[in-house]
């Protein structure tokens, strides 16, 4: 039996929820010899940002070749299983609540940028998805740099979610009464956009569009070498991907009830800042 008491100092769930990011020791996920050739742009359809696998199957963004698609699906599903075990080991309390999102294989060079400021992940932000409101659920992601050429994935990271939120919170309009219903009916969103989702998306867009903020961003650079894996609450850690290519990523959603430390969640911090009930 584990004789150590679970305290804030040694409970990874609490560290993850308060710090927002944990770097796993060593090189915990290794590609097999047979998987290595999949780490190449030639399996992409050339249009999508990433190749991805849905939680119930279905590959997106891959070239039409059926054999390549099957092998990509196998790699991503192996990664998903590994990521799920990793999170369960770190935070056993999350186990029954862990909901799978998409798995992605990111073959693009990050430094090449994106078609708009809003979509440009080189600009500092906290994750919030326009079409996929979480309704207050947390976004937990597991990343692994699988670059075969020794190239780091480099991020800028700031742990000051509160500073990030306070910078724009008063300027973000509350949704009008029927807005959530309308967005859902028009299928602009896949679920109802709660007041929390609207604020998170407003902050995401305000941050990415704020040139003065992006020109003198807070935080520091972190380099993740090939083989490194890291687990991040990307709905709380302020982050930007600066450079690097070839990465695997698994998204999970977790309800607030699963949190070891609910007061550290973005929903509770935003409620404190705005004085409104958001979820």
Which option in Fe ion, ligand SIN, none does residue 152 bind, with CB closer than 5 to 8 A by kind? none
- Per CB under 5 A, the segment of 19-27, 122-130, 132-140, 224-232 that binds Fe ion is 122-130
Residue 267 three-state SS: helix
197 contributes a contact to Fe ion by CB under 5 A: no
Contacting residue, 234, 250, 251, 265, with ligand SIN by CB under 6 A: 234
> For residues 123-152, which are near Fe ion according to CB under 5 A?
127
Asked if residues 247 and 146 have their Cβ atoms less than 8 Å apart, the reply is: yes
Q: Which tokens hold the place of 267? A: 């929903």
Burial letters 153-181, b for 16+ CB under 10 A, else e = bbbbbbbebeebbebbbeebeebeeebbe
Residue 83 three-state SS: helix
156 contributes a contact to ligand SIN by CB under 6 A: no
- Per CB under 6 A, the segment of 29-37, 60-68, 163-171, 233-241 that binds ligand SIN is 233-241
Say if strands 220-224 and 138-145 run parallel, antiparallel, or are unpaired: unpaired
Residue 100 three-state SS: strand
Q: Which tokens hold the place of 119? A: 């979509």
Burial letters 194-226, b for 16+ CB under 10 A, else e = bbbbbbbbbbbbbbbebeebbeeeebeebebeb
- Per CB under 6 A, the segment of 64-72, 92-100, 212-220, 239-247 that binds ligand SIN is 239-247
Q: How many residues bind ligand SIN (CB under 6 A)?
A: 9
236 contributes a contact to ligand SIN by CB under 6 A: no
Asked if residues 16 and 90 have their Cβ atoms less than 8 Å apart, the reply is: yes
106 contributes a contact to ligand SIN by CB under 6 A: yes
Contacting residue, 121, 152, 179, 271, with ligand SIN by CB under 6 A: 121
For the bound state, the minimum distance from the C-beta of residue 204 to Fe ion, rounded and expressed in Å, comes to 9
- In the complex with ligand SIN, the residue whose CB is nearer, 125 or 193, is 125
- In the complex with ligand SIN, the residue whose CB is nearer, 127 or 197, is 127
Ranges assigned E (strand) in the chain: 21-23, 51-53, 59-60, 99-106, 138-145, 153-158, 220-224, 229-233, 238-243, 247-254
Q: How far apart are the first and last CA of the chain?
A: 38
- In the complex with ligand SIN, the residue whose CB is nearer, 106 or 195, is 106
249 contributes a contact to Fe ion by CB under 5 A: no
- In the complex with Fe ion, the residue whose CB is nearer, 127 or 197, is 127
208 contributes a contact to ligand SIN by CB under 6 A: no
Where does this chain bind Fe ion (CB under 5 A)? 127
Where does this chain bind ligand SIN (CB under 6 A)? 106, 110, 121, 127, 153, 234, 239, 241, 247
């Amino acid at each position: 039996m584990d004789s150590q008491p679970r305290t804030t100092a040694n409970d990874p769930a609490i560290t993850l929820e308060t710090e927002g990011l944990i770097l796993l020791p060593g090189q915990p996920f290794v590609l097999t010899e047979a998987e290595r050739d999949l780490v190449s742009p030639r399996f992409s359809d050339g249009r999508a940002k990433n190749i991805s696998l849905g939680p119930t199957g279905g590959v997106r963004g891959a070239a039409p070749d059926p054999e390549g698609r099957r092998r990509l699906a196998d790699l991503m599903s192996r990664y998903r299983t590994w990521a799920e075990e990793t999170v369960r080991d770190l935070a056993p309390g999350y186990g029954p609540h862990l909901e799978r999102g998409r798995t992605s294989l990111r073959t693009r060079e990050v430094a090449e940028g994106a078609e708009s400021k809003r979509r440009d992940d080189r600009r500092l932000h906290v994750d919030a998805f326009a079409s996929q409101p979480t309704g207050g659920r947390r976004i937990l992601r597991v990343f692994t740099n699988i670059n075969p050429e020794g190239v780091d994935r480099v991020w800028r990271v700031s742990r000051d979610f509160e500073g990030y939120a306070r910078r724009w919170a008063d300027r973000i309009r509350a949704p009008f009464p029927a807005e959530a219903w309308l967005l859902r009916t028009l299928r602009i969103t896949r679920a109802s956009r709660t007041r929390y989702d609207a604020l998170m998306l407003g902050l995401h867009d305000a941050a990415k569009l704020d040139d003065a903020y992006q020109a003198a961003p807070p935080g520091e650079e972190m380099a993740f070498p090939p083989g490194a894996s890291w687990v991040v609450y990307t709905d709380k850690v302020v982050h930007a991907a600066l450079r690097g290519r070839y990465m695997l990523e698994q998204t999970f959603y977790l309800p607030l009830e699963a949190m070891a430390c609910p007061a550290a969640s973005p929903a509770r911090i935003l409620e404190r800042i705005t004085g409104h009930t958001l979820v």
